[in-house]
Amino acid sequence: MMQKPRLTKRHRIAVDAMGGDHAPGEIVFGALDAATSFDVDILLVGQEARIAAELTKHAGSIPSNIEIVDAAEVVEMCDPPITPLRRKRNSSIRIAANLVGEGRAGAFVSAGNTGATWTSARAVLGMVEGVDRPALAALVPSLTPQGFTVLLDVGANVDARPHHLREFAVMGHFYAQMVFGLERPRLGLMSIGEEEGKGNDLTKESFAVLAETGLNFIGNAEGRDVYNGNADVVVCDGFVGNCVLKASEALGEMIKQTLSAEFKKNPFRMLGGLLSGSALAGMKKKMDYTEYGGAPLLGVNGGCIVCHGRSNGKAIRNAIRVAAEFVEHDVNGKIRTKISELHSQERAEGLASGDQPAGQRS
Amino acid sequence: MMQKPRLTKRHRIAVDAMGGDHAPGEIVFGALDAATSFDVDILLVGQEARIAAELTKHAGSIPSNIEIVDAAEVVEMCDPPITPLRRKRNSSIRIAANLVGEGRAGAFVSAGNTGATWTSARAVLGMVEGVDRPALAALVPSLTPQGFTVLLDVGANVDARPHHLREFAVMGHFYAQMVFGLERPRLGLMSIGEEEGKGNDLTKESFAVLAETGLNFIGNAEGRDVYNGNADVVVCDGFVGNCVLKASEALGEMIKQTLSAEFKKNPFRMLGGLLSGSALAGMKKKMDYTEYGGAPLLGVNGGCIVCHGRSNGKAIRNAIRVAAEFVEHDVNGKIRTKISELHSQERAEGLASGDQPAGQRS
């Protein structure tokens, strides 16, 4: 299901060709793959000569739906997030963001410096009207029928307030609609303990706020509900989401290493390992982040897909597909409408009760 | 390493025979195993007739180092945490806690209602002098040389302050010394981003506080450092720790299910699965919580080992061993001394600067 692009129109996607551990080679390779697989136009942003050389290496002729946009500078992984706004305004990340800001592309994709990507997206694109803070949404493998659960925020913010979690819920809802094709994705609030009264100050306050959104709110989710298939979307503040996501990645890696070491212990096990190789590969494919390409930074006014620094061509290809679907489904338009409805509802209730509407607090 | 009891003296451990999904059968079985394996005295607390029947079923004669202490009532899993203090004062959990409070046992072990166990331990035993809040410490499998990392707090508290994280650090340090036999366990502060300035309000404030403890503080740890072997102890508030722990458990379970389904897909894989069975068993053993028995509730004035509700006899046996080691190593005495030192140091600095010492805030 994750592999089929559902595009009815042609979209233009900007790709930061210089970002990531394997740039520009794998990025250009992935873009070429996407250009021949999907009905998209791709703007490859970066140092023109290097990109052209990579293109020629992989393709006899450059496909007509790929265009190079020159960007002299490169943001390094160690550069501070503010770099594309101050020191390197001609960097590929900044220019990719500019292309979206100017309406020349619907979304941009980067596997480069994550902080610099967020900062550029937020500063150049601004926020979707009514949204206070962006959130990074990760697709994690799970026991849901679709095989994945959306977890957000996984680190764009720390120290959220209840109305931020409400924004994350709305954004996660429409993103899950898009990627899973679900009408009413089940939405859980990450907490400790399932009952309404359980959790910390933030989740206790947020429970009532989420219950009033009209979304398919199923109540508190525990850490286990990220994986056990009980929820399609789990919302939490970026600190908790980041800790859970990074711990999970490391646990997966540890299990892989442990299994691999166990398989090498004797010849029977080695033979077993060979025979069961396809089973392990099947599991690996299911757990493989490159299948779903990247995590969107939701809430910014334009598409921004953040890829893992170690992305290969396949991850980039899939991130471009996700970016095109994001534009196709007008996820931002849906978020804007829903948030506006919630604010109107709140204002009406506020006028009735004489309270300050929560949407006006910051 | 985790299997060798290091006991130089004889300790008396109270065991709640009625708590857990498999009580009293597996609890009694585990206690019998411990009684014959380790140099401990065991007080089996619960409904006398049922315990006696279980003992007779498993053993021809009752070992001299097992004694039954009658407790008429049983706290159910669905009972509120306050139950042993109010409604069921003759419950096995409450009486096990009382035995420690009265000095008749050095520690107690329960696989029953976790909230009720904490509440009883805290109310009956009180806190170690100078410690403000207890913390539940989990041993999670990791790539450290000893194969485990201590993660705390995993859910005894929510909404911690920096001086609480300092208490958790001190308690985690001495617990890791005991279970790992390490002189200076590496202590990380769970955060997002490794640099000092990264994280949320709590971790930014806590960084400096932990740096001044004189413990082997290695700075911020990310979620991945729980598993990748970089830290021996990771401290966090109970909300974050609980989310990470429960997500990890569910991810492990999902990987197990996915692998099992993949192995069943064709005969070659099934044969491979059979041949590699011992490799999978090796991994399972490494990830198996029953190997380390239970999680101590640190900070209460006496030993309290909380076991998983689904504990089997082996888990109970190992929890009894951990309880005896906890008493043997005088973990609480070491915590008391260190916390007192930190408070003195703070008072001295406070007098010098005219500030209110942090240890006096609540």
- Residues contacting residue A51 through CB under 8 Å, at least 6 positions apart: A17, A24, A28, A44, A68
Answer yes or no: are the C-beta atoms of A105 and A12 closer than 8 Å.
yes
**Mean pLDDT: which of A289-298, A337-346, B283-292 is highest?**
A337-346
d(CA B58, CA B80): 33
Query: CA nearest A255 in B: which residue?
Result: B283
Element holding A230 (H helix, E strand): none
pLDDT score of A264: 72
Give a yes or no: residue B358 inside a domain: no
Answer yes or no: are the C-beta atoms of B63 and B32 closer than 8 Å.
yes
Q: Above 0.90 for ipTM, yes or no? A: no
Best residue in B255, B256, B260 for a mutation probing chain A (most A CBs within 10 Å): B255
List the structure tokens of A69.
């946009």
Query: CA nearest A202 in B: which residue?
Result: B159
Looking at the structure of chain A, the number of domains it has is 2
Are A269 and B252 a contacting pair at CB < 8 A? no
Say which amino acid occupies B261. A
Average pLDDT, chain A: 89
A268 touches chain B (CB under 8 A): yes
pLDDT tens, A109-147?
Answer: 999 998 999 999 999 999 999 999 999 999 998 999 998
Q: Judge if A105 and A200 occupy the same domain.
A: no
Best residue in A159, A165, A239, A287 for a mutation probing chain B (most B CBs within 10 Å): A239
For chain A, how long is the longest CA-to-CA vector?
A: 76
Element holding A282 (H helix, E strand): helix A277-287
Structural domain range at position A288:
133-292
- For residue B274, give the CATH number of its domain: 3.40.718.10
Q: Judge if A154 and A70 occupy the same domain.
A: no
- Residues contacting residue B310 through CB under 8 Å, at least 6 positions apart: B20, B21, B22
Answer yes or no: are the C-beta atoms of B170 and B338 closer than 8 Å.
yes
User: Residue for token digits 């989990």?
Assistant: B138
**Which of B358, B335, B357 minimizes the C-alpha distance to B169?**
B335
Tell me which chain A residues have a C-beta less than 8 angstroms from the C-beta of B201: 158-159
Task: Name the strands in the sheet holding B40-46, side by side, starting at the edge strand that comes first in the sequence.
Answer: B66-70, B40-46, B11-16, B107-110, B303-306, B295-298, B135-141, B148-152, B233-235, B187-190, B217-221
Say which amino acid occupies A41. D
Q: Judge if B174 and B56 occupy the same domain.
A: no
Which one of A155, A248, A275 has the shortest CB-CB distance to B248? A248
Give a yes or no: residue A337 inside a domain: no
Q: Judge if B79 and B162 occupy the same domain.
A: no
d(CA B107, CA B100): 6
Total count of residues recorded for chain B: 362
Q: Judge if A56 and A91 occupy the same domain.
A: yes
List the structure tokens of A188.
């859980």
pLDDT score of B259: 76
d(CA A238, CA A160): 8
A87 touches chain B (CB under 8 A): no
d(CA A81, CA B195): 14
Give a yes or no: residue B6 inside a domain: yes
SS (H, E, C) chain B: CCCCCCCCCCEEEEEECCCCCCCCHHHHHHHHHHHHHCCEEEEEEECHHHHHHHHHHHCCCCCCCEEEEECCECCCCCCCCCCCCCCCCCEHHHHHHHHHHCCCCCEEEECCCHHHHHHHHHHHHCECCCCCCCEEEEEEECCCCCCEEEEECCCCCCCCCHHHHHHHHHHHHHHHHHHHCCCCCCEEEECCCCCCCCCCHHHHHHHHHHHCCCCCEEEEECHHHHCCCCCCEEECCHHHHHHHHHHHHHHHHHHHHHHHHHHCCCHHHHHHHHHCHHHHHHHHHHHCHHHCCCEEEECECCEEEECCCCCCHHHHHHHHHHHHHHHHCCHHHHHHHHHHHHHHHHHHHHHHHCCCCHHHCC
- Residues contacting residue A297 through CB under 8 Å, at least 6 positions apart: A117, A118, A121, A122, A134, A135, A136, A156, A304, A305, A306
User: Residue for token digits 């005991």?
Assistant: B178
Give a yes or no: residue A347 inside a domain: no
Answer yes or no: are the C-beta atoms of B312 and B22 closer than 8 Å.
yes
Best residue in B153, B242, B251, B271 for a mutation probing chain A (most A CBs within 10 Å): B251
CB pairs under 8 A between A and B: 199
List the structure tokens of B55.
């003992």
Span A306-335, average pLDDT: 93
Total count of residues recorded for chain A: 362
Tell me which chain B residues have a C-beta less than 8 angstroms from the C-beta of A288: none
Are A276 and B254 a contacting pair at CB < 8 A? no
User: Residue for token digits 């008749």?
Assistant: B104
d(CA A255, CA A252): 5
Closest Cα in chain B, distance from residue A114 (Å): 12
Tell me which chain B residues have a C-beta less than 8 angstroms from the C-beta of A256: none
Residue A301, phi then psi, degrees to nearest 5? -80, 70
List the structure tokens of B116.
């009720």
Q: Judge if A15 and A117 occupy the same domain.
A: yes
Residue A198 CB coordination number (10 Å): 16
Residues β-bridged to residue A185: none
List the structure tokens of A340.
């506006």
Are B247 and A236 a contacting pair at CB < 8 A? no
Q: Judge if A227 and A201 occupy the same domain.
A: yes
| Interfacial A residues in 182-201 facing B (CB < 8 Å) | 190-192, 199-201
pLDDT tens, A3-24?
Answer: 455 677 789 999 999 999 999 9
Best residue in A133, A224, A251, A274 for a mutation probing chain B (most B CBs within 10 Å): A251
Which one of A159, A224, A239 has the shortest CB-CB distance to B247? A224
Closest Cα in chain B, distance from residue A194 (Å): 12
Answer yes or no: are the C-beta atoms of A326 and A128 closer than 8 Å.
no
Q: Judge if B75 and B6 occupy the same domain.
A: yes
Q: What is the pLDDT along chain B (362 residues), one digit of tens a residue?
A: 444 556 777 899 999 999 999 999 999 999 999 999 999 999 999 999 999 999 998 877 788 999 999 999 999 988 999 999 999 999 999 999 999 999 999 999 999 998 999 999 999 999 999 999 999 999 998 999 998 999 999 988 888 999 999 999 999 999 999 999 999 999 999 999 777 778 888 999 999 999 999 999 999 999 999 999 999 999 999 999 999 999 988 888 888 787 777 777 767 666 666 666 666 666 666 656 566 678 899 999 999 999 988 899 999 999 999 999 999 999 999 999 999 999 999 888 877 765 554 444 44
Give a yes or no: residue A355 inside a domain: no
d(CA A18, CA A27): 8
| Interfacial A residues in 131-170 facing B (CB < 8 Å) | 141-143, 155, 158-159
In angstroms, the first-to-last Cα distance of chain A is: 39
Q: Judge if B98 and B10 occupy the same domain.
A: yes
Give the Å distances, CA to CA, from B112 to B13, B44, B46, B234, B308: 16, 14, 12, 26, 8
Q: Judge if A139 and A263 occupy the same domain.
A: yes
| Interfacial B residues in 316-345 facing A (CB < 8 Å) | none
Q: What share of chain A is helix, strand, coil (3-state, %, to 5)?
A: 45, 15, 35
| Interfacial B residues in 230-249 facing A (CB < 8 Å) | 236-240, 242-249
Give a yes or no: residue B320 inside a domain: yes
Tell me which chain A residues have a C-beta less than 8 angstroms from the C-beta of B279: 259, 262-263, 265, 269, 272-273
Are A192 and B242 a contacting pair at CB < 8 A? yes
Give a yes or no: residue B340 inside a domain: no
**Which of A91, A89, A98 minimizes the C-alpha distance to A124?**
A98
Answer yes or no: are the C-beta atoms of A207 and A200 closer than 8 Å.
no
Looking at B292, B316, B349, the residue that finishes a domain is B292
B288 touches chain A (CB under 8 A): no
Side-chain-side CA neighbours of A219 within 13 Å: the count stands at 8
Are B142 and A254 a contacting pair at CB < 8 A? yes
Tell me which chain B residues have a C-beta less than 8 angstroms from the C-beta of A161: none
pLDDT tens, A88-101?
Answer: 999 999 999 999 99
Which one of B236, B248, B272 has the shortest CB-CB distance to A276? B272
Best residue in B243, B249, B280 for a mutation probing chain A (most A CBs within 10 Å): B243
Buried b (16+ CB within 10 A) or exposed e, A303-342: bbbbbbeebbbbbbbbbbbbbbbbbbbebbebbbebbeeb
Element holding A109 (H helix, E strand): strand A107-110
Q: Judge if B182 and B270 occupy the same domain.
A: yes
Give the Å distances, CA to CA, from A330 to A7, A43, A316, B71, B303: 12, 20, 21, 64, 58
Give a yes or no: residue A362 inside a domain: no
List the structure tokens of A144.
């849901």
pLDDT score of A273: 65
Looking at B267, B292, B317, the residue that finishes a domain is B292
Q: Is A117 helix (H, G, I), strand (E, B) or coil?
A: helix
Are B200 and A239 a contacting pair at CB < 8 A? yes
Are A247 and B257 a contacting pair at CB < 8 A? no
pLDDT score of B361: 44
Best residue in A118, A276, A289 for a mutation probing chain B (most B CBs within 10 Å): A276
Which one of A226, A242, A279 has the shortest CB-CB distance to B223? A242
- Residues contacting residue A114 through CB under 8 Å, at least 6 positions apart: A306, A309
Tell me which chain A residues have a C-beta less than 8 angstroms from the C-beta of B253: 227-228
Q: What pTM value is reported for the model?
A: 0.88
d(CA B273, CA B310): 27
Count each helix (H run) and each strand (E run) in chain A, helices first: 11, 11
Q: Judge if A186 and A43 occupy the same domain.
A: no
B274 touches chain A (CB under 8 A): yes
Which one of B224, B239, B268 has the shortest CB-CB distance to A249? B224
Looking at B235, B264, B292, the residue that finishes a domain is B292
